[in-house]
């Protein structure tokens, strides 16, 4: 099976990898990692930032994202930006005067979200279905409602969502593509849906997780960095997969993982 390497063991792990003068060119970051790096309230933000700056950067290990991790990253920030914008729009000090039913819909879902924040410690981000429900309240009044929704979407997302995409480069994260001639030496095989499906069927890993692990398999990179326990279970279930590097307390906080790994 692939190895699950806690941050605290990475130095020894890296020494083993490079004892034959092997060069580690890069690693793949899963979606939760790049989201956490970009959003400081996230639980592991400080630990991830410190790990990358103290362990990977000095070793000149490049960070890469894939098409599906980039999608998940942008999807999170789309919902975050829209949530912040809509909540501000119904604040008592807001200069916007939204129609009553629209305002009621936003406040209703904002209240549900606040309850999740207080009771479950969730991120202050609407579910996609909640954004769609609010949009429905806007569009119920016809063309004017649709135009109002569109104007709010533009105000809240443009250009901030594009800036979040560009922030990946600021974070030092590159997009991994076999079509990039400079990156072709990193690849040892082609990405195939069939291979991702095999990874999924082996442990019932989510397709998105399976795609990340499959992308790793097609590269020269020996490990990926993850914050996803589903990825850990997938690696533990499949002897053919590569290694995963994770924060120590991701394991410590999961009773079943502790029993398997400690």
Cα separation of 174 and 28, whole Å? Answer: 9
How does pLDDT run across 111-145, given as a tens digit for each residue?
999 999 999 999 999 999 999 999 999 999 999 99
Q: What is the percent of the chain with per-residue pLDDT over 70, rounded to a whole number?
A: 99
Q: Please, which residues have CB within 8 angstroms of residue 241's CB and are 6 or more apart in sequence?
A: 1, 2, 199, 213, 216, 217, 234, 235
Contact between 209 and 230 (Cβ < 8 Å): yes
Return the pLDDT at 84.
Answer: 97
Contact between 202 and 234 (Cβ < 8 Å): yes
Residue 94 has pLDDT above 90, yes or no: no
Cβ-based burial of 224 (10 A; exposed 0-12, middle 13-18, buried ≥19): buried
Overall average pLDDT of the 191-202 stretch: 93
Return the pLDDT at 169.
Answer: 92
Overall average pLDDT of the 237-262 stretch: 87
CA-CA-CA-CA torsion sign (28, 219, 245, 226): positive
Return the pLDDT at 262.
Answer: 63
How does pLDDT run across 1-16, given as a tens digit for each residue?
689 999 999 999 999 9
- Confidence band of 257 (pLDDT split at 50, 70, 90): confident
Cα separation of 155 and 140, whole Å? Answer: 21
> Chain-centre distance of CA 11, in angstroms?
25
How does pLDDT run across 34-69, given as a tens digit for each residue?
999 999 999 999 999 999 999 999 999 999 999 999
Cα separation of 181 and 184, whole Å? Answer: 5
pTM of the model: 0.92
3-state SS record for 200-239: HHHHCCCHHHHHHHHHHHCECCCEEECCCHHHHHHHHHCC
Tell me the average pLDDT of the chain: 94
Return the pLDDT at 47.
Answer: 94
Cα separation of 121 and 104, whole Å? Answer: 24
Return the pLDDT at 1.
Answer: 61
Long-range contacts of 151-155 (CB under 8 A, 24+ apart): 152/85, 152/86, 152/89, 153/82, 155/85
Residue 204 has pLDDT above 70, yes or no: yes
> Which two three-digit tokens encode residue 124?
């202050």
Residue 259 has pLDDT above 90, yes or no: no
How does pLDDT run across 215-243, given as a tens digit for each residue?
999 999 999 999 999 999 999 999 899 99
Neighbours of 69 (CB within 10 A): 27
Return the pLDDT at 2.
Answer: 84
Return the pLDDT at 12.
Answer: 96
């Amino acid at each position: 099976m692939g190895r699950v390497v806690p941050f605290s063991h990475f130095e020894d792990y890296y020494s083993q990898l490079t004892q034959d003068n092997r060069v580690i060119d890069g690693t793949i970051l899963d979606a939760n990692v790049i989201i956490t790096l970009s959003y400081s309230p996230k639980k592991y933000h400080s630990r991830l930032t410190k790990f990358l700056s103290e362990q990977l950067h000095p070793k000149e290990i490049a960070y890469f994202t894939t098409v599906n991790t980039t999608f998940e990253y942008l999807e999170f920030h789309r919902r975050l930006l829209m949530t912040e914008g809509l909540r501000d729009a119904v604040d008592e000090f807001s200069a916007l005067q939204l129609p009553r039913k629209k305002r009621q819909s936003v406040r209703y879902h904002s209240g549900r979200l606040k309850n999740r924040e207080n009771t479950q410690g969730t991120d202050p981000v609407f579910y996609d279905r909640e954004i769609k429900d609010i949009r429905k309240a806007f569009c119920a009044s016809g063309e004017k409602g649709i135009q109002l929704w569109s104007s709010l979407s533009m105000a809240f997302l443009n250009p901030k969502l594009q800036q979040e995409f560009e922030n990946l480069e600021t974070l030092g994260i590159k997009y991994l593509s076999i079509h990039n001639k400079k990156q072709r030496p990193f690849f040892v095989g082609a990405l195939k849906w069939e291979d991702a499906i095999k990874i999924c069927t082996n442990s019932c890993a989510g397709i998105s997780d399976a795609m990340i692990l499959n992308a790793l398999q097609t590269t020269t990179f020996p490990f990926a960095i993850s914050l996803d326990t589903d990825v850990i279970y997938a690696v533990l279930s499949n002897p053919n997969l590569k290694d995963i590097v994770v924060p120590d307390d991701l394991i410590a906080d999961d009773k079943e993982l502790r029993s398997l790994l400690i």
